[in-house]
């Protein structure tokens, strides 16, 4: 049985010989833990698997990542799978060539340091998240202790809701933009809307349309459990939507067309660039400004902050929720009517 040696840091380490690399250099796997017996136990487990021929120790990290993605393909969203495959292709190239048996904290930290020079902290964190998930599945005894680059908070200046409304009113970008700004819909949710989702003045969000790779994918579900929700349609939006067959899309344009028209309208109004998804951020800011309680803000936007909200999410409309809807509708109605009145006066 391997004996752990105490390090100057106070931790205990056991080195297990795993073979030689392509150049003939001996390779060792390090097991380090504050507890001596734990370090020795982990090393012993590794040796036992090696004597039995191993199961996953000879897998390269690239192979482990590929198998991990394949195993999750039907339970993760298509966009997440696509993002994972992009990470596997473009990130941590040299590290992926190593076998799982040769991986240790030092090797992974070195790779993180190299990636941090070229990529944002968020990109590095996402890539490491995939690596750690693959390792947890195929090398559960591997304990990586690494430091990720610190995320830098980016403060962006966005136009006001009133400026956005004035920019898009009367343009082809108005309906999708107001669905996002007023009702806090994601782009995929806007594209997933059908006329059959409207009953009276209630709009049910239950479907998404995503651009995955080189094709469009319709999903009969929303991004998260709480994203499937019902929203009251204010008269202004109901008039913009008009009428159509139950299976007909309310917004028929592709995501790229919607985005380009929105950006063009914002630029034509002389406003700073913003993403279509920023409309949801503006919606959240409006609800904060109006003092909308978190519970109702979460219901309208389909956000979830904890397990309780996820499990007690309700599709019913209480008197308080109706009051919240009235408050938000009055706010946006006033902005829309201000623009209409101004145009009439200038005519």
Instruction: Please check whether residues 316 and 175 belong to one and the same domain.
Output: yes
What is the percent of the chain where pLDDT is above 70? 84
Query: Is 166 a domain residue?
Result: yes
First and final C-alpha spacing in the chain:
90
Q: What is the CATH number of the domain that holds 264?
A: 1.10.443.10
Query: Is 199 a domain residue?
Result: yes
Q: Of 193, 292, 286, 278, nearest to 244 (Cα)?
A: 193
Query: Is 34 a domain residue?
Result: yes
Instruction: Please check whether residues 219 and 300 belong to one and the same domain.
Output: yes
What pLDDT was estimated at residue 130? 95
What average pLDDT score do residues 225-251 get?
A: 92
Report whether pLDDT(327) > 90. yes
Q: Of 196, 190, 226, 181, nearest to 209 (Cα)?
A: 190
Instruction: Please check whether residues 176 and 126 belong to one and the same domain.
Output: no
Report whether pLDDT(309) > 50. no
Instruction: Please check whether residues 113 and 185 belong to one and the same domain.
Output: no
Report whether pLDDT(201) > 90. yes
pLDDT bucket at 315, cuts 50 / 70 / 90: very low
What pLDDT was estimated at residue 339? 61
Domain count for the chain: 2
Choose the weakest-confidence range: 27-41, 102-116, 172-186, 249-263: 27-41
What average pLDDT score do residues 106-117 get?
A: 94
Distances (CA, A) of 151 to 115, 121, 133: 14, 5, 21
What average pLDDT score do residues 52-77 get?
A: 78
What average pLDDT score do residues 76-82 get?
A: 83
Domain boundary among 123, 138, 153: 138
What pLDDT was estimated at residue 143? 87
Instruction: Please check whether residues 200 and 301 belong to one and the same domain.
Output: yes
What pLDDT was estimated at residue 34? 85
What pLDDT was estimated at residue 347? 56
Query: Is 144 a domain residue?
Result: no
Sign of the CA dihedral running 121, 127, 133, 134: negative
Q: What is the DSSP letter of 346?
A: H
Query: Is 127 a domain residue?
Result: yes
What pLDDT was estimated at residue 263? 97
What average pLDDT score do residues 184-199 get?
A: 95
pLDDT bucket at 314, cuts 50 / 70 / 90: very low
Query: Is 155 a domain residue?
Result: no
What is the percent of the chain where pLDDT is above 90? 48
Domain boundary among 138, 153, 174: 138
What pLDDT was estimated at residue 138? 86
Helices 255-268 and 174-183: angle between axes, nearest 10 degrees: 90
Q: Answer whether 185's CB lies under 8 Å from 251's CB.
A: no
What pLDDT was estimated at residue 11? 87
What average pLDDT score do residues 94-121 get?
A: 92
Choose the weakest-confidence range: 74-78, 162-166, 301-305: 301-305
Report whether pLDDT(40) > 70. yes
Q: What is the DSSP letter of 23?
A: T
Q: What is the DSSP letter of 19?
A: E
Domain hosting 47: range is 5-138
Report whether pLDDT(1) > 80. no
Query: Is 202 a domain residue?
Result: yes
pLDDT bucket at 27, cuts 50 / 70 / 90: confident
Instruction: Please check whether residues 127 and 203 belong to one and the same domain.
Output: no
- Strands 202-205 and 5-6 turn out to be unpaired
What pLDDT was estimated at residue 312? 35
Residue 70 belongs to what H/E stretch? helix 61-72
Instruction: Please check whether residues 318 and 180 belong to one and the same domain.
Output: yes
pLDDT bucket at 154, cuts 50 / 70 / 90: low
Helix, strand counts (H, E) of the chain:
15, 8
Report whether pLDDT(233) > 90. yes
What pLDDT was estimated at residue 47? 66
Report whether pLDDT(307) > 50. no
Rounded Cα gap, residues 313 and 329, in angstroms: 22
Q: Answer whether 82's CB lies under 8 Å from 212's CB.
A: yes
Rounded Cα gap, residues 253 and 170, in angstroms: 17
């Amino acid at each position: 049985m391997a004996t752990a040696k105490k390090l100057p840091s106070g931790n205990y380490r056991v080195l297990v010989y795993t073979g030689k690399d392509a150049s003939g250099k001996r390779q060792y796997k390090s097991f380090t833990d504050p507890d001596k017996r734990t370090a020795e136990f982990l090393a012993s487990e590794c040796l036992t698997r090696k004597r039995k021929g191993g199961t996953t120790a000879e897998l390269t990290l690239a192979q482990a990542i590929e198998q991990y993605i394949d195993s999750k393909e039907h339970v993760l969203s298509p966009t997440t799978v696509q993002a994972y495959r992009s990470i596997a292709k473009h990130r941590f190239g040299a590290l992926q060539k190593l076998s799982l048996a040769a991986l240790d904290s030092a090797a992974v930290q070195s790779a993180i340091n190299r990636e941090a020079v070229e990529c944002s902290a968020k990109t590095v964190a996402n890539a490491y998240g995939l690596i750690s998930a693959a390792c947890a599945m195929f090398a559960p005894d591997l304990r990586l202790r690494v430091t990720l680059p610190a995320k830098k908070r980016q403060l962006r200046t966005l136009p006001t809701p009133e400026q956005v409304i004035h920019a898009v009113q009367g343009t082809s970008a108005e309906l999708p933009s107001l669905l996002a700004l007023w009702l806090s819909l994601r782009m995929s949710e806007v594209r997933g809307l059908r006329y059959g989702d409207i009953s009276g003045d209630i709009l049910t969000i239950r479907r998404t349309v995503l651009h995955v790779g080189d094709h469009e994918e319709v999903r009969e579900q929303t991004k998260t459990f709480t994203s499937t929700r019902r929203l009251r349609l204010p008269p202004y939006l109901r008039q913009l939507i008009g009428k159509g067959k139950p299976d007909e899309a309310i917004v028929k344009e592709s995501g790229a067309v919607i985005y380009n028209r929105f950006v063009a309208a914002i630029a034509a109004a002389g406003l700073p660039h913003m993403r279509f998804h920023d409309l949801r951020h503006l919606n959240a800011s409006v609800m904060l400004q109006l003092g909308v309680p978190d519970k109702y803000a979460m219901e309208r936007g389909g956000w979830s902050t904890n397990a309780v909200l996820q499990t007690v999410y309700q599709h019913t409309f209480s008197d308080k929720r109706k009051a919240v809807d009235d408050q938000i509708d009055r706010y946006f109605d006033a902005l829309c009517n201000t623009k209409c009145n101004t145009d009439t006066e200038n005519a």
